[in-house]
Amino acid sequence: MNILVPSWSPPPLVVYPERQDRPEHWLDGIEKMVTSVPQMVAGRLHRRHLRELVQKVNAAGAALGDETGQGLAARIGEVRAALRCHGLTDANICLGFAIVREVSQRTIGLRHLDVQILAGLAMLKGRVAEMDTGEGKTLTAGLPASIAALAGLSVHVITVNDYLAARDRDILRPIYDFLGLTTGLVNSTVPRPDRPAAYACDIVYASNKEIAFDYLRDRITFGGQPRPVHAKVNRMLDERRGQSPPFVMRGLHFAIVDEADSVLVDEARTPLIISQETDADGERQWVEQTFALIDGFKEPTHYLLLLDERRLELTEAGKAKLAERAEAIGGIWRNRIRREEAASQALVALLLFRKGEHYLVSDGKVQIIDEYTGRVMPDRSWSDGLHQLVEGKEGCVITSRKLTMARMTYQRFFRRYLHLAGMTGTARETTEELRHVYGLQVMRIPPNAPSRRTKLPTTICPTLDDKWLTIVRRVQELQAAGRPVLIATRSVSASEAVSVVLQGQGIEHRVLNAEQSSEEAEIIAQAGGVGRVTVATNMAGRGVDIAVVPQALALGGLHVLLSERHDAGRIDRQMEGRTARKGDPGSTEAILSLEDPLLDLIPWQPLRLLGRCGKRARLLLFDLAQQRAERTHAKDRKNLLAQDRRLGTLLAFSGLPE
């Protein structure tokens, strides 16, 4: 069994450690196919080995209960020295886990369960632990984070948003303080001058976007790949001058990614780009002329909409019309490529980007909504003039366009960590992609207690109005029974539509979406009360723990009502996972309509006729639309990864920073 335990090697003595990129070769694909079966067999043996380690952790912890505070502190010092000298051996890990479990019980009153110990071991061995929602992933992450930090590694615990990063750090901070470990927090409110101090801590909690962009800014500072000798000399000179180093991070040692499928898969469709503003003169004129070029364009005469791919194609008639109008305007519009790209972007802005779903307009500014988390990204903008065209569409002040300074994908960034691990409640659909792209194996962790969640049959209504009325009647029934209700929607506009209908029927409720983000903690804290009704976007999804009061649990617990299906079924399961957590009772139900936006992804009209058939055929229609969306997203990620590899090769050849 010892062959499954990686041998210890100390962290590399460099200023900015990270894993070096290795160019992909066509033989790598064959190697992955050949080794997949042995890895599956080794995975079963590995699971058995980890279960044996859980028993050893229990045995090591049996003697710790009688230790005084002083005695426990002495044991912490011993395990720290052992980890620093001999590394992550099984004996050191088991003793370390037992100590962290004891410290957790004494500081925050929570004792790790055996399944949490198993998940912690899996992550420390570089795997993605798939744990059911409500099984305590926040507490579990503290185990590998503590042991890695005690061993001298800089640990990044990466979450999907700022709220969860702050919440999780605050929950586990007493444990880390007792262990003598420092903790830092990096979110959008932390200015760049203060970030080096945060990253200097043993354990850093941060959202995926903040930590990835900090890395990109460091790469710009280095002018490309960090050079150890150059970085050491600069750091020495900075210290003598009393200045902080020009880069904020200490490298990429150890990352634990919460909601790994969301961060590593879902959000990997969009590259990370750092840009600087260009001259704003002429942007408004460019926007006005672009809209003038496409004035009166109609489908299918001038363009074809490809809804499932979120793009459109100009027809030959459309291109000819553009050429005719461009000749009259002159200038840059005589360039065929420029005018056709601008026209396509303008049509996309008008037809495919919707306010309340893809963006908000706040204080006269267009703010992008993250489609996976439902949160506003205030400092982000679309590229290639799309943001300016949306601003023109909404009558906002046209901002200057951005010039790309650095670009990177999540795939390339996370593969640079020397040690990568993760956890999530929905990984099974992405197992192959996680293994192929990141080299991560997924390990399923059984729940501590059997689930008591009840899934009720899906209701499919013919129109949106019928759906809202059905939802209102259902909410009235549940509220009369005293049960709290969470109504899940895909977009801000949908949540507001539900709210209007509920108000019309006199149903008291709270709305949680990107426009009410400041009230998030308060709304979530109240959502589990008797008879409470909460309408929420994805903001109430991943990582959110709704505490249901005992009186409501006695009445059946929280009822999650899905008013729409998302592009990925995993997001639906995450919303359903807000109820019946930790063995509590709860139920879920979906009330959909044949006018839901998801069905726009079914372009073939004869297939849409399934909506006139029985319930089973209607459900099939939704399944087909969801599968089509998931295939498109997977294709986008594959294409982006291939493009990223080509770009990496070009940049390496040119010597430019990425």
Of residues 656 and 254, more confidence is placed in 254
Q: Which of 286-290, 360-364, 647-651 has the lowest mean pLDDT?
A: 647-651
Q: Please give the average per-residue pLDDT across 15-37, as a whole number.
A: 66
Architecture of domain 452-595: 3-Layer(aba) Sandwich (3.40)
- Amino acid identity of 642? A
**Predicted pLDDT of residue 383:** 80
- Confidence band, pLDDT 50/70/90 cuts, at residue 2: very low
**What distance, in Å, lies between the first and last C-alpha atoms of the chain?**
42
Q: Which of 105-114, 122-131, 631-640 has the lowest mean pLDDT?
A: 631-640
Res. 248: pLDDT tops 70: yes
396: which residues sit within 8 A by CB, 6+ positions away?
A: 361, 364, 365, 366
The DSSP H or E segment spanning 626 is: helix 615-654
Q: How far apart are CA 571 and CA 620, in angstroms?
A: 18
pLDDT of residue 3: 35
Please say whether the beta carbons of 250 and 418 come within 8 A.
no
Fold of 279-400: Pre-protein croslinking domain of SecA (3.90.1440)
Q: How far apart are CA 53 and CA 642, in angstroms?
A: 40
- Tell me the C-alpha distance between 460 and 130, whole Å: 31
DSSP of 109-171, one letter per residue?
S----HHHHHHHHHHHTTEEEE--TTS-HHHHHHHHHHHHHHTT--EEEEESSHHHHHHHHHH
Q: Which fold has domain 27-270+410-444?
A: Rossmann fold (3.40.50)
Most confident of 133-147, 222-236, 514-528, 632-646: 133-147
For residue 381, pLDDT over 90 is answered with no
Q: So what's the pLDDT on residue 603?
A: 67
Query: What gap in Å lies between CA 405 and CA 656, rounded to an integer?
Result: 10
450 versus 652: the higher-pLDDT residue is 450
The candidate with the shortest Cα–Cα distance to 199, out of 140, 179, 187, is 187
Evaluate if residue 394 carries a pLDDT over 50.
Answer: yes
Q: Which residue has the higher pLDDT, 26 or 216?
A: 216
Work out the burial of residue 554: count CB atoms within 10 Å of its CB; fewer than 13 is exposed, 13-18 middle, 19 or more buried: exposed
Please check whether residue 498 is in contact with residue 510, taking contact to mean a CB–CB distance below 8 angstroms: no
Least confident of 125-129, 140-144, 246-250, 503-507: 246-250
Q: Which residue has the higher pLDDT, 201 or 16?
A: 201
Ranked by mean pLDDT, the top range of 55-59, 265-269, 437-441 is 55-59
- Reduced to 3 states (helix: H, G, I; strand: E, B; else coil), residue 527 is coil
- Please give the sequence-ordered ranges of beta strands (E in DSSP) within 150-298, or none if there are none: 155-159, 183-186, 203-207, 254-258, 272-277
Q: How confident is the model at residue 363 (pLDDT cuts 50, 70, 90)?
A: confident
The more confidently predicted of residues 532 and 603 is 532
- Alpha-carbon distance of 32 to 24, in angstroms, equals 12
Lowest-pLDDT range of 65-74, 263-272, 405-414, 607-616: 607-616
State the CB neighbour count (10 A cutoff) for residue 483: 24
In contact, 130 and 442? CB cutoff 8 Å: yes
The predicted model gives 386-390 an average pLDDT of 92
pTM to 2 decimal places: 0.82
Cβ atoms of residues 417 and 157 within 8 Å: no
Burial profile 242-270: b = 16 or more Cβ within 10 angstroms, e = fewer = eeebebbbbbbbbbbbbbbbbbbbbbbbb
User: Which of 114-118, 236-240, 295-299 has the highest average model confidence (pLDDT)?
Assistant: 114-118
With a cut of 50, say whether residue 68 has pLDDT above it.
yes
pLDDT in tens, 492-508: 889 999 999 999 999 99
The two three-digit tokens of residue 410, written as one number: 């999540």
Percent of the chain, pLDDT > 70?
85
475: tokens are 């909410």
- Candidate from 261-265, 561-565, 602-606 with smallest mean pLDDT: 602-606
Between 404 and 233, name the one with better pLDDT: 404
Average pLDDT value for the chain: 86
Backbone angle region of 136, left / alpha / beta, with phi > 0 → left and psi within -120 to 50 → alpha = left
Residues spanned by CATH 3.40.50.300 within the chain?
A: 27-270+410-444, 452-595
Q: Which residues of the chain form CATH 3.90.1440.10?
A: 279-400
18-22, 115-119, 472-476, range with the lowest pLDDT: 18-22
Strand, coil or helix: 73:
helix
